[in-house]
Chains A and B, each alone.
Chain A
Amino acid sequence: MLEFRNISFSFPGRRGAIDVLRDVSFTCGQDEIVAVIGPSGCGKSTLLSLATGLRTPTSGDVFIDGKAVKGADLRIGMLFQQNTLLPWRSVVENVELGLEIRGEPKEARRKRALDLMQQYGLAGFDRKYPHVLSGGMQKRAALAQTLAIEPSVLLLDEPFAALDAQTRIVIQNDVVKTCRARKRTMLIVTHDIAEALAMADRVVVLSRRPAQVKEVYEVSFSREAASVADAPAMPGFAEYYRRIWHALDISITGAAA
């Protein structure tokens, strides 16, 4: 379980401190997928970096399974927006990187990495280098790398933004299935409303900076849709979409009135 308790974050700017997050509180339970959505630049990614311990909140605390996060936390796995596969390592060496950092013996970590690669459709690519993989396969390799360390909390920072629309749905589906099967806690930051609705049990809408929790929506069909691709056809999808769009309060200038 991941809990943000009264989180505020600001950083010093030229004219006084810039408030990014103000008193943000919400939890993301075990076996639950929460999507955080908000206007561009509202501090969504900052929220994740606070959970990973890369940054420290100005006030408030982040708790994982009831214990406060202090510095890099081994219970967390994160999937980044950018490609984080190291280009000088083969795919299997990338997948086992987290285990290598933890000092896992070579044979055990290689076996675990190969198993995961098999599972995510990367069998036979273990000795290839990341640049020969397609964008979708790179993302799957990154996912295998993240899962290799068996994190109890999975953080996703707009991880599918760079993928083409069809590949994106396939990978979103893989991630949701993985998270459900392993009963993990998952938090995904996105600015794609459809993605939030298709993947999450709960959607937290943040306001503009300084970001506060503006609305929280429980997605009624989250476990009923057979796959991510079926979500838009579920009853209520359009209504959620409309309400979230309004909550985001984005003005479309130049649109015919």
Chain B
Amino acid sequence: MNSSAVHRLLVILGRVVVLLVILLGAELGVRSGVMSRLFFSSPTEIVAALQAQMADGSFLPNVGITAFETLLGLVAGSLAGMAVGLILPQMRLVANVFEPFLMVLNGIPVIVIAPLFILWLGLGLASKVGISVYIVFFTMFIPVYTASLRLDRTFVDALRVMGASRSQIFWKVIVPSSLPSVYTGLKIGSGLALIGAVIGEFVASRAGLGHMILYASGTLDTPSLYLGIITIAIFAAALSFAIDAMGRLLVHYRFSDEK
């Protein structure tokens, strides 16, 4: 076995050990009474909470609702951010008029604007999706917009000399050159889409993981609180992993100045 394979094995082994220490420490700490049950939960208690919620049929719908809000927010917000980020730079006058308004809107913290979305769109799914779309829009719009503004004019000139029409330049140069920024937007946006959905659920909701966490916190149901946090962490990690895999398909080239 060569040294890099040994290294990789040690890394995986180390990670398993760290995980086991955390799980075992929490289990023993809580059982022995060293760690208070009010603030901490043992893994077995968390699994019991999961079983109870599965039994009463609330767990999967809660996960499903939050996942749905997040994904819908991510897709719709990204598409809108991409469209505006790509098209706006093609219309200088409109872009210059709208730029300060967009910047101010982007500056509003999402937690501040969330109650407005609840007011407009109600307690259900729509308001959470709306909040998610709102944050994701800007995380996608800003990198795509700046990339289109900074686009190397030589590419555009070269295509114009070849007789390309405006729409050919848009599809053959402007859109593909924005893909690295789209990837950046998706990567940051995926985390923020989840935050948007959960914040919406915190402000006012009847279901979802955010609702479950808030309810558990209010009723001092610590194991359910941990269950919610762990579920969200796993969902966020899976989403980020999926985006990374997609990114490799989206950006299969490197820019020549990144040699």
Q: Could you tell me which A residues sit within 8 Å of B by CB distance?
A: 52, 54, 72-74, 76-78, 80, 82-89, 97-98, 101-102, 129-131, 138, 149
Measured between beta carbons, the chain B residues less than 8 angstroms from A129 are 253-254
Q: Which one, B163, B172, B253, contacts A72 given CB within 8 A?
A: B163
Would you call B157 an interface residue if the criterion is a C-beta within 8 Å of the partner chain's C-beta atoms?
yes
Taking A87-B254, A88-B253, A131-B254 as contacts, is the C-beta distance between A101 and B157 under 8 angstroms?
Answer: no
Interface core residue of A83, A88, A89, A129 (most chain B CB under 10 Å): A88
Q: What's the least CB distance linking A2 to chain B, in Å?
A: 14
Interface string of B122-166 (1 = CB under 8 A from A): 000000000000000000000000000000101101111111100
Q: What's the least CB distance linking B235 to chain A, in Å?
A: 32
Check A72–B161 contact: CB distance below 8 A: yes
Q: What's the least CB distance linking B184 to chain A, in Å?
A: 16
Q: What's the least CB distance linking B165 to chain A, in Å?
A: 8
Would you call B255 an interface residue if the criterion is a C-beta within 8 Å of the partner chain's C-beta atoms?
yes
Check B154–A74 contact: CB distance below 8 A: no
Check B172–A86 contact: CB distance below 8 A: yes
Q: What's the least CB distance linking A185 to chain B, in Å?
A: 16
Q: Which one, A74, A80, A83, A84, contacts B163 given CB within 8 A?
A: A74
Per DSSP, are chain B's interface residues mostly helix, strand or loop, or mixed?
helix
Q: Tell me the B214-248 residues at the A interface (CB within 8 Å).
A: none
Would you call B259 an interface residue if the criterion is a C-beta within 8 Å of the partner chain's C-beta atoms?
yes
Check A72–B160 contact: CB distance below 8 A: yes
Would you call B177 an interface residue if the criterion is a C-beta within 8 Å of the partner chain's C-beta atoms?
yes
Taking A82-B154, A149-B162 as contacts, is the C-beta distance between A88 and B256 under 8 angstroms?
Answer: no
Taking A87-B255, A131-B255 as contacts, is the C-beta distance between A101 and B158 under 8 angstroms?
Answer: no
Measured between beta carbons, the chain A residues less than 8 angstroms from B254 are 87, 129, 131
Measured between beta carbons, the chain A residues less than 8 angstroms from B163 are 72-74, 98, 101-102
Taking A72-B163, A86-B173, A88-B177 as contacts, is the C-beta distance between A78 and B158 under 8 angstroms?
Answer: yes
Check B157–A88 contact: CB distance below 8 A: no
Would you call B176 an interface residue if the criterion is a C-beta within 8 Å of the partner chain's C-beta atoms?
yes
Q: List 18 A-B contacts (CB under 8 A).
A: A54-B157, A54-B161, A72-B162, A72-B164, A82-B154, A83-B256, A84-B155, A86-B172, A86-B173, A88-B176, A97-B172, A98-B163, A101-B163, A101-B168, A102-B163, A130-B256, A131-B254, A138-B256
Measured between beta carbons, the chain A residues less than 8 angstroms from B154 are 80, 82, 84
Would you call B79 an interface residue if the criterion is a C-beta within 8 Å of the partner chain's C-beta atoms?
no
Taking A101-B168, A131-B259 as contacts, is the C-beta distance between A80 and B253 under 8 angstroms?
Answer: no
> Chain B interface: which size bin?
20 to 34
Taking A129-B253, A129-B254 as contacts, is the C-beta distance between A88 and B162 under 8 angstroms?
Answer: no
Q: Which one, A76, A82, A86, contacts B161 given CB within 8 A?
A: A76
Check A101–B162 contact: CB distance below 8 A: yes
Q: Tell me the B154-202 residues at the A interface (CB within 8 Å).
A: 154-155, 157-164, 168, 172-173, 176-177, 179
In whole angstroms, how far apart are the Cα atoms of A88 and B163 in the complex? 20
Interface core residue of B152, B161, B179 (most chain A CB under 10 Å): B161
In whole angstroms, how far apart are the Cα atoms of A89 and B252 in the complex? 10
In whole angstroms, how far apart are the Cα atoms of A142 and B132 in the complex? 45
Measured between beta carbons, the chain A residues less than 8 angstroms from B173 are 86
Q: A83-B256, A101-B172, A131-B253 are in contact. List 15 more A-B contacts (CB 8 A).
A: A52-B161, A72-B163, A72-B164, A78-B158, A80-B154, A84-B158, A85-B256, A88-B177, A88-B253, A89-B176, A97-B159, A97-B172, A131-B255, A131-B258, A149-B162
Taking A82-B154, A88-B179 as contacts, is the C-beta distance between A98 and B162 under 8 angstroms?
Answer: yes
- Among residues of A, the one whose C-beta sits closest to the C-beta of B160 is A72
- Among residues of B, the one whose C-beta sits closest to the C-beta of A149 is B162
In whole angstroms, how far apart are the Cα atoms of A241 and B162 in the complex? 35
In whole angstroms, how far apart are the Cα atoms of A58 and B24 in the complex? 81
Measured between beta carbons, the chain B residues less than 8 angstroms from A131 are 253-256, 258-259
